Amino acid sequence: MKALTVSRMAAARLRANKKAYLSLLIGIFLSVFLVTTLVLCIQGVILGQMERNNKRLGYEDAFLLDTPELTDGDLAEMGYFDTIGHVYVSAGIQDTNIYLGWYDETGADLLGRQVLEGRLPEKAGEIAMERSAMLAIREDGQWQLGEEVTLKVIPVDGVEEERTFTLVGYLAEQSNALTNPNNTYAVYVTGFPALLVSPSEPAFASGRVAFHRLMTLTVPISEELFRTFYNRIEDHVLGRFQVKTISGNLIDSYYSEYVFGLNSDAFVIAIMAGILILALLLSCCVGIAGSMEGILSGRSEEIGILRALGATKRQIRRMFGRESWLLALTAAPFSIALSCLFVWGLALWMPENMIFKFNPLLVIPVIVLSAAVILISGSIPLRRASRQMPMSVIRDTGLLRKSKHIRSRKQFRVPALISKRLVRLYPTRLLGAVILSALMCFCAAMLSIVLFQGISGFVPSQEAYSIMMQGNGSARGYVSYLPGQPLSDQSLNQLRSLPHVRKVNVNRQLRVCVLLDHKTSYFNAGHYHNDALMTLEEYTEYARSLGDTADLETIRQRYAGEQASYDAARNALGISQELVMTELQTVTPEKLELLEQSLGSGKIDLDAINAGQEVLVVAPQIWWVSESGTQGFRLIDDPSEAEREKAAMTVVNDWAFAGQELPIVQLYTDDPQAGTDEDGKSLYESCTRRDALVTIGAVLDSRPYSLSGMWGAVLTTEEGLRNMGLFRNGWDTITIYLDGIVDEETEKTLTQSVTAIARRAERFQVYNYMESARENARTQLQLMLLMGAITIVFFAVAAGMIVSAVTRQLQSDGKRIGMLRAVGAEEKTILRCYSGQVFICLTLGMVLSVLVMAALFTSSILNVPARYYPGGIAAILFFTVCCMALCAFLLRRRVRQVTRGSIIDNIREL
Amino acid sequence: MEIMHCENLSKIYQTGEASVFALDDVSLSLASGSFTAITGPSGSGKSTLLHLLGGLDKPTKGTVYYRENDLYKYNDNQLSVLRRRRFGFVFQSYNLVKELTGYENILLPVMLDSRQPDEAYLNRIIDLLGIRDRMSHLPSAMSGGQQQRFCIARALANKPAILFADEPTGNLDGKAGREVLTLLRTVSHELGITLVLVTHDLHVAEQADRVIKLEDGKIAGDSGVTV
């Protein structure tokens, strides 16, 4: 005869009570499945998006646009980069932003150029091209592979010539994605080639070969690393150094704070994903503990008898604990395997957006955590059950202690009284359901944020075209170049009326000067750095912070030179005040209202702004520059922070105050060659000058991300600009969004129309992002479907757990139901007794989750942006309502199951 | 006058492949206002017969008529209404709802029927049963005898036509058992209620107007038809 071990007893009990243990088994199975699936899905989507971004932008971490003054050795010496590849650009196509070039081996590996049809060029005379480039070059149809293609090209810094190639392949779109539309400087240099030729292609008769460098970083990018190395490189190559972020955005110096904004969003999402997983684990804990409690409460007499027979607490815990372990050992491997299979299937279905990777480092913690969850959650009710005295379990004397709080009713509605009494007398029994409901509501809110916001963060709404001026504002000194033929309002209206165009965004930025009574270095961290506005001490300190080791006399001479040229400009313009360059931006009245949240002092008076009497100025009160001398200024709320952060330089707003008068000077020319071959004086005399005197209505203390202006920028409306009397020269950038994804034929027609309108203006180029938009739409659809699948799995598991938590009483309440039926209670009355409890549990859970969410979101650790709140609350409400409906449905079924048997069966169940 | 009768009542329990006849082709009738005791050894089918007469269980075969209406043609809701308005039940193990106080348990059938309680009537029962001082206590704070009194009070709360008692003294000591039995007799007599009582105690059975003896699911003896 086999020895009677605890495991054998547990296995025998499991066999004998299959039905009772089924909910616990399902709970363990679903818990492990849900957590594993979620972890694998999040990992898969992140890996998928990184891979997608890599395919779109290449595997490099950063690149440096045409900078011959720096050698590869200089870059390697910095110690930040371990691989450097090259992209060579030999020519461009006239009146387009399309370039011709080739890669070296490392460059080709990093960019990973994909061929859609045909092959890459292998010998001289062969060419492969992006389809959007072909559409832009040839308006009357598509070239076939193998066809001779004759192109009129302009070599870089050279003279136009014609060359014939054989078309051997069509390439996946990449060159436009590598052009950072936010980087105004990038338009000065050549872009990335959309037309690819062989490295053995003979040189053109004139011009030079420009080259861009692609680099991989030795360590992952961090804010500190970015600030450190960026400043060292950027000092030499302003605007030409680009860094690729995890979300696939390109960043440059001017928008460096933007990427940290993005990163902080990603940080919030990562934290929330972590909290979600922890909350799910906790929910699983509560779910399993609840199932265990249900089983134990149904077997409390058995425990009492075992205790009466002399079983120790430890023995009781071992006997019942072994049961849950056996269940876990049965369920966990299957659920992990099923979860891997599920995510693997998802990854097969959407290979572009999700990568399945069985990462033991990720799965082992899930197994350990699941084991811990089962151990902890099973042990809590076991400890409680085994602690009770034998007769108190048998006689249920626990109720006696609570009975003093009970007030006997003289009249009552039976379902309401029984619901309330059960909640009152068995708070712990329902506490599990309340906590579970709160956790699940909270998880629903987190999931909505992580998935919806995460997806929108990963896949931004992609414009179809953008029209930008080449060399915007490229005049010398304080004078801007404004083309004679700008993009007019009429052109804008025509663009808006094109078929499929949903939205056309416009941007107007003017370079202007403000006249101040004193010098200020406030602007020097911004776009328009001007050393002449510093004192000699500040100039020297700044030079030292950049690692300049020149002696003091040399620095003094350099400073004097800066001052002399600055004074010459002022004299030529007849200006006695300090001349500070900044930019003037127009915003819509709607956007102006949104700026209220950034208000530092004064007030936003739309009428005064529209009348051209007042402007807004973006001028936070205190900024500091880090010790490393980076130009990434940061607002500090607490002045002592500057000391803590070891700020090398603190900049205080000493020039813009609400109510102060602000003279504005606009200097411009429509001659692109002005100032290039003559001295500054004649340029200042020949340019057009317009003056405006306005009052600063309000000073903004921060710059919302929706606004691309710099600190020191002056803001007004279109109407205000007109009334100020400054020159409005068309639009600088136009971004076109379509109402959906169009087919290739429609794209061709649209591209032709957009190009024709853009060519009416001088020096404007069209950037075609249609392929990216198409890809983004596909991605968004797939991710939405994935999100739907995850949400359904989550909802099914969560609702199942809650329903099980609130309905498991029914299993052990057969006797009570029998009693009620015996005295004449109908099925609907019994149903109401339980649905009342469900309502109480879910409502309490919902309120609790909203409170937790509010506390967590507003905490200083997370500080979740307010735009996430409505989605979270909507998710909680939706989840609760769905749960209530599902619970009502399932309760009715379960009550019917119980009442289907005879009353005597119910009463005798125990 | 007959208040209830049953014809060819059988109840068979399936245990695996074997069939157990708990009740085998039993027919009888009950007179209004009578006190009938059903006796017999354990497993003879006494409780089964009581449950089938009270509409708490369904027979495998046969019918039960209450005032000429077939109980088992009623749907579940109609049967529930009948139970709370016309029948009262007293169980051996009391079966009070342990989360409700004594008084709330008494009121249960009245409240389920959404009616105003007849306080004078309830007070009379409460005084008759001597349970006034335990009204606001939960059942777990009462002795077995007290719980049984509350169970009787609950069964009488709706002025039932028939009171079914399943070994009401089984869990009580001799003195308490005698008291409960006396109370049942007195109350049912005073209120004109038909009392059907299951017992295996012959001393209890002796006090009934009529004694039906069951053996192996069949009527083995009947002291007299009182219709």
| Predicted confidence (pLDDT) per residue in A41-55, tens digit | 878 877 877 777 777
- Among B113, B89, B93, which Cα is nearest to B193's? B89
- Residue B122 contacts A, CB cutoff 8 Å: no
The pLDDT value given to residue A195: 93
- For residue A474, name the pLDDT band (cuts at 50, 70, 90): very low
- Residue A816 contacts B, CB cutoff 8 Å: yes
The pLDDT value given to residue A661: 93
Rounded to an integer, the average pLDDT of A501-510 is 81
Q: Any idea of the CA torsion for B188, B190, B193, B196, to the nearest 10 degrees?
A: 30
Q: What is the mean pLDDT of chain A?
A: 76
Q: How many residues does chain B have?
A: 227
What CA–CA distance (Å, rounded) separates A892 from A414?
18
Residue A441 and residue A362 in one domain? no
Which residues of B are less than 8 Å from A415 in CB distance?
none
Q: Do B111 and A413 touch (CB under 8 A)?
A: yes
Residue A701 and residue A615 in one domain? yes
Which residues of A are less than 8 Å from B45 in CB distance?
none
Q: Do B80 and A824 touch (CB under 8 A)?
A: yes
Residue A698 and residue A722 in one domain? yes
The torsion angles phi and psi of A668, rounded to 5 degrees, stand at -150, 160
Look up residue A254 and give its DSSP letter: G
The pLDDT value given to residue A103: 92
Q: Tokens 């009934």 sit at which residue?
A: B208
Out of A726, A750, A777, pick the residue that ends a domain: A726
Rounded to an integer, the average pLDDT of A281-285 is 72
* Lowest model confidence (mean pLDDT) among A23-27, A181-185, A621-625, A884-888: A181-185
Min distance A853 CA to chain B CA atoms (Å): 35
Q: Report domain extents, chain B.
A: 2-222
Which residues of B are less than 8 Å from A406 in CB distance?
101, 136, 138
As to burial, measured by CB atoms within 10 angstroms (0-12 exposed, 13-18 middle, 19+ buried), residue A256 is: buried
Residue A903 and residue A788 in one domain? yes
The pLDDT value given to residue A41: 81
The amino acid present at B48, given as its one-letter code, is T
Residue A798 and residue A828 in one domain? yes
Which residues of B are less than 8 Å from A827 in CB distance?
76-77, 80
The pLDDT value given to residue A531: 76
With a cut of 60, say whether residue A739 has pLDDT above it: yes
Q: CATH code at A468? A: 3.30.70
Give, in order, the Cα–Cα distances in Å from A614 to each of A693, A700, B44: 9, 14, 103
- Residue A411 contacts B, CB cutoff 8 Å: yes
Specify the CATH number of the domain B2-222.
3.40.50.300
Min distance B68 CA to chain A CA atoms (Å): 21
Q: What is the DSSP string of A316-364?
A: HHHHHHHHHHHHHHHHHHHHHHHHHHHHHHHHHH-TTT------HHHHH
Angle at which helices A814-822 and A869-900 cross, to 10°: 60
Structure-model confidence comparison of residues B101 and A313, the more confident one: B101
Are A335 and A36 a contacting pair, CB within 8 Å? yes
Q: Do B85 and A816 touch (CB under 8 A)?
A: no
- Residue B215 contacts A, CB cutoff 8 Å: no
Residue A87 and residue A205 in one domain? yes
What CA–CA distance (Å, rounded) separates A284 from A440?
10
* Lowest model confidence (mean pLDDT) among A138-142, A231-235, A252-256: A252-256
Which residues of A are less than 8 Å from B154 in CB distance?
823
Residue A8 and residue A103 in one domain? no
Residue A854 and residue A794 in one domain? yes
Are B181 and B204 a contacting pair, CB within 8 Å? yes
With a cut of 60, say whether residue B80 has pLDDT above it: yes
The pLDDT value given to residue A421: 83
Best residue in A823, A830, A905 for a mutation probing chain B (most B CBs within 10 Å): A823
Residue A85 and residue A207 in one domain? yes
Instruction: Tell me whether strands A599-602 and A688-700 are parallel, antiparallel or unpaired.
Output: antiparallel
What CA–CA distance (Å, rounded) separates A414 from B107?
10
The pLDDT value given to residue B210: 92
CA angle A582, A584, A587 (to 5 degrees): 145
Asked if the structure places residue A560 within a domain, the reply is: no
Task: Report the range out of A197-206, A423-432, B173-182 with the highest average pLDDT.
Answer: A197-206
The pLDDT value given to residue A527: 54
Q: Do B100 and A411 touch (CB under 8 A)?
A: no
Which residues of A are less than 8 Å from B136 in CB distance?
406-408
With a cut of 60, say whether residue A909 has pLDDT above it: no
Give, in order, the Cα–Cα distances in Å from A887 to each of A831, A838, A842, A882, A884: 11, 7, 10, 8, 5
Min distance B58 CA to chain A CA atoms (Å): 7
Are A617 and A713 a contacting pair, CB within 8 Å? yes
Of the candidates B101, B109, B138, which has its C-beta nearest A824's C-beta?
Answer: B109
Which residues of A are less than 8 Å from B102 in CB distance?
408
Q: Do B76 and A899 touch (CB under 8 A)?
A: yes
Which residues of A are less than 8 Å from B104 in CB distance?
408-409, 412, 417
Task: Report the range out of A380-389, A457-466, A829-838 with the highest average pLDDT.
Answer: A829-838
Range of the domain at A132: 62-220
What CA–CA distance (Å, rounded) separates A270 from A277?
11
Asked if the structure places residue A203 within a domain, the reply is: yes
Look up residue B110 and give its DSSP letter: H
- For residue A262, name the pLDDT band (cuts at 50, 70, 90): very low
Of the candidates B109, B111, B136, which has its C-beta nearest A412's C-beta?
Answer: B111
Residue A296 and residue A193 in one domain? no
Q: Any idea of the CA torsion for B193, B194, B200, B202, to the nearest 10 degrees?
A: 80
Q: Do A408 and B104 touch (CB under 8 A)?
A: yes
Q: Do B140 and A819 touch (CB under 8 A)?
A: no
Q: Do A820 and B137 touch (CB under 8 A)?
A: no
What CA–CA distance (Å, rounded) separates B10 from A53?
78
Helix or strand holding residue A799 (H, E): helix A770-812
- For residue A215, name the pLDDT band (cuts at 50, 70, 90): confident
With a cut of 50, say whether residue A256 has pLDDT above it: no
The pLDDT value given to residue A545: 66
Q: Is the pTM of this model over 0.90?
A: no
Residue A614 and residue A647 in one domain? yes
- For residue A258, name the pLDDT band (cuts at 50, 70, 90): very low
Residue A588 and residue A710 in one domain? yes
Out of A191, A220, A249, pick the residue that ends a domain: A220
pLDDT digits (tens, 9 = 90+) for A380-398: 777 777 666 655 555 565 6
Out of A195, A220, A245, pick the residue that ends a domain: A220
What CA–CA distance (Å, rounded) separates A370 from A436?
17
pLDDT digits (tens, 9 = 90+) for A658-692: 999 999 999 888 776 666 555 556 777 778 889 99
Asked if the structure places residue A659 within a domain, the reply is: yes
Which residues of B are less than 8 Å from A819 in CB distance?
95-97
- Residue A825 contacts B, CB cutoff 8 Å: yes
pLDDT digits (tens, 9 = 90+) for A95-113: 777 899 999 999 999 888 8
Q: For chain A, what is the domain count? A: 5
As to burial, measured by CB atoms within 10 angstroms (0-12 exposed, 13-18 middle, 19+ buried), residue A760 is: middle
3-class secondary structure for A370-422? HHHHHHHHHHHHHHHHHHCCHHHHHHCCHHHHHHHHCCCCCCCCHHHHHHHHH
